[in-house]
Amino acid sequence: MTGQAKPRRWIAIVYLGLLALVIPWYWPAGDTRHFYGLPLWVIATLAALLATSAFTAWVYLSLPEDE
Amino acid sequence: MSDLLPFGPGAWVFIALYVASLLILGWKGRAARKEDTLQDFYLAERDFGYIVLLLTLYATQYSGNTFFGVAGATYRLGFAWLIAVHYMLSVIVFYLAFAPKLHRLSHDRGYVTPVDYLQDRFGSRAISLIASVVMIVALSNYLLAQLMTMGRALQGLAGPYGDQAYNYGVVGLALIMVIYGTLGGLRAIAWTDVIQGSVLLVGFLVLLALLADQFGPLSAATERVLASTDDFKVARPAPAMLREWFSYIIVIGMGGALYPHAIQRIYAARSSRTMHRSLATMAFLPFTTALVAVIAGIYALAYVPGLEGAATDQVLARLLRIIQESSLLGYAVVVVIFSAILAALMSTADSAMLSISSMLTKDIYAVYVKPQAPQAELTKFGKRCSWIVIGALIVLAIVLRNHASLITLLDRKFDVLVQLVPAFILGIHLPFLQKTPVLFGLVAGLAIALGLAFGPFDFVVAGKVWGLHPGLYGLIVNTTIAIGGSALKVWR
């Protein structure tokens, strides 16, 4: 990708979607089931966080370079 | 200190070698100086490559709070403090909003401090002065927290000699830090960050292995918590905590991205490619650090129950002491982790110290006291500032020892820093933003944030209003005034 950076609004939309997945509002309250010590809601949150990290890395690496 | 702590001579030799290496790098940094200018001293001639930039960003972002504060908050709140992993990542996400453009501008326009950008963008002394004060106060708060954690790191391991160990820890480590920081400036600090960042990375991973080896699998720890009265700390957070989660992501994510010392590292990146690669890597590091601290907090909840208040910030030290006393290997590995904790504390504190010094020198002294001062004189003044700031904060750290939990310190700092978002992040993207509305917005935002945080209001519970930080309410008003006022002026 070269040239001047253009606003990419869809990136903000993806981040909002990921934010909605990371914060576990959708998980049943009082659920204490766990897998290898990690509650299931924690696993869901960590998966969404990992997706956020991967997406962020991709966005940075696809930014135009000045030099 | 060696007669106070249960560390033997071998451990102290190891730690002494580590500390000595920092001082040597301070000398090396001084020797590598190309010219006696602010740009050389505070930005290392803007020549950081990928590895140095990555490790200095990493060592600076992950502080004593990551080890002690996050483990302590997890102890109090349970798995809900996964929030810490999220807010560490959100800082990197919010950099996307302004770092690429700011990096380009800083190289073109020769910025040294964050306020240089604001002065260039708005040409308002009032905005620049308020921003300087906000950043200096916020960073001093942060530096104070690091110094207090240095003391607590030793206090937790020293048993009945804790009080003396706290004082020696604060004074000794702060002096070492100010020596190498004033010798070589950012160049020396970044080089020490390479060592400190590496030790930190290894230390966190070793800690994870050590916890499992000493206490058994995480599943056993979680079962133990479930069997106690703390069982609610395993379940999904309550709705109030979910609102708080959202608030932390916005306030710490944006506020953390505006840390002056982090912005100066963006200025110091050799190229945009270097900066993009470093930040892309940083996006994965919350999993190797903050997440490990959360897991340590769960182990502490299971195996060191019953602590309350400020004592919860020492749960990690309590765990380490148990491991240390269990075997020779445990003892040796705790020495490595202890070094990593020192690395986290010192690397964050030295960066904050240098950044405060740069702002006092460039944004205050060179503007209001001696505008014609030559660069060499300014550099000299900056070094003196470092000594004075550290001296004052050492006294405060000792006086305030038992008065504030780390997380309380953390909250207030971001409430004020986040008020700079319209000027920085919106200012860089919205050409129509004008100085008067931005100034009024900033003042209103600060007044609301501080008023709610420190005022006698019944509706403020645990420093938050309906689970949201006071800074977030201030930011909403601040942004509305900045954008609305600017749009109105343009429309007229």
* Per-residue model confidence as pLDDT tens digits over A16-61: 999 999 999 999 988 889 899 999 999 999 999 999 999 999 999 9
Q: What is the pLDDT of residue B32?
A: 84
A-chain CB neighbours of B89 within 8 Å are 49, 52-53, 56
Is residue B414 in a domain?
A: no
Tell me which residue of B90, B146, B178, B98 sits closest to B426, measured CA to CA.
B98
Shared domain for B353 and B255, answered yes or no, is yes
Chain A / chain B CB contacts < 8 angstroms: 112
Shared domain for B88 and B168, answered yes or no, is yes
Cross-chain CB nearest to A24 (options B89, B96, B236):
B236
Quote the minimal CA–CA distance from B397 to chain A in Å. 35
Is residue B419 in a domain?
A: no
* Sole residue written with tokens 């502490």: B300
Shared domain for B339 and B485, answered yes or no, is no
Shared domain for B201 and B270, answered yes or no, is yes
Shared domain for B459 and B378, answered yes or no, is no
Cross-chain CB nearest to B272 (options A15, A41, A67):
A67
pLDDT per position as a tens digit, B451-471:
988 888 888 777 788 888 999
Residue of B nearest to A30 (CA): B235
pLDDT grade for B120, boundaries at 50, 70 and 90: very high
Quote the minimal CA–CA distance from A42 to chain B in Å. 7
Shared domain for B337 and B482, answered yes or no, is no
Chain B residues within 8 A (CB-CB) of chain A?
79, 82, 85-86, 89, 92-93, 96, 100-101, 103-104, 217-222, 226, 231, 234-239, 242, 245-246, 249, 271-273, 276-277, 279-281, 283-284, 286-287, 291, 298
Q: Is the pLDDT of residue B1 over 60?
A: no
Shared domain for B375 and B464, answered yes or no, is no
Cross-chain CB nearest to B222 (options A24, A37, A67):
A37
User: Whole-structure pTM over 0.95, yes or no?
Assistant: no
Q: What is the pLDDT of residue B58?
A: 92
pLDDT grade for B404, boundaries at 50, 70 and 90: low
Say how many domains are in chain B.
2
**Chain-chain contact of A65 with B277 (C-beta, under 8 angstroms):** no
Higher pLDDT, B491 or B159: B491
Report d(CA B407, CA B141) in Å as an integer.
12
Q: Does A21 touch chain B (CB under 8 A)?
A: no
Q: Is the pLDDT of residue B19 over 90?
A: no
Is residue B318 in a domain?
A: yes
Shared domain for B146 and B31, answered yes or no, is yes
A-chain CB neighbours of B220 within 8 Å are 37
Shared domain for B110 and B178, answered yes or no, is yes
Write the ipTM: 0.92
Is residue B189 in a domain?
A: yes
Is residue B422 in a domain?
A: no
Shared domain for B246 and B394, answered yes or no, is yes
Is residue B420 in a domain?
A: no
pLDDT grade for B252, boundaries at 50, 70 and 90: very high
Whether B459 and B465 have beta carbons less than 8 Å apart is answered as yes
Q: Which structural domain range is residue B446 located in? A: 430-492
Tell me which residue of B139, B58, B67, B38 sits closest to B320, measured CA to CA.
B67
Whether B266 and B43 have beta carbons less than 8 Å apart is answered as no
pLDDT per position as a tens digit, B408-418:
555 578 999 99
**Chain-chain contact of A15 with B226 (C-beta, under 8 angstroms):** no
The CATH number of residue B89's host domain is 1.20.1730.10
Shared domain for B246 and B383, answered yes or no, is yes
Average pLDDT over residues B424-440: 94
Shared domain for B441 and B389, answered yes or no, is no
pLDDT per position as a tens digit, B215-237:
999 999 999 999 988 888 889 99
Tell me which residue of B73, B350, B346, B323 sits closest to B186, measured CA to CA.
B350
**Chain-chain contact of A41 with B246 (C-beta, under 8 angstroms):** no
Report d(CA B294, CA B317) in Å as an integer.
14
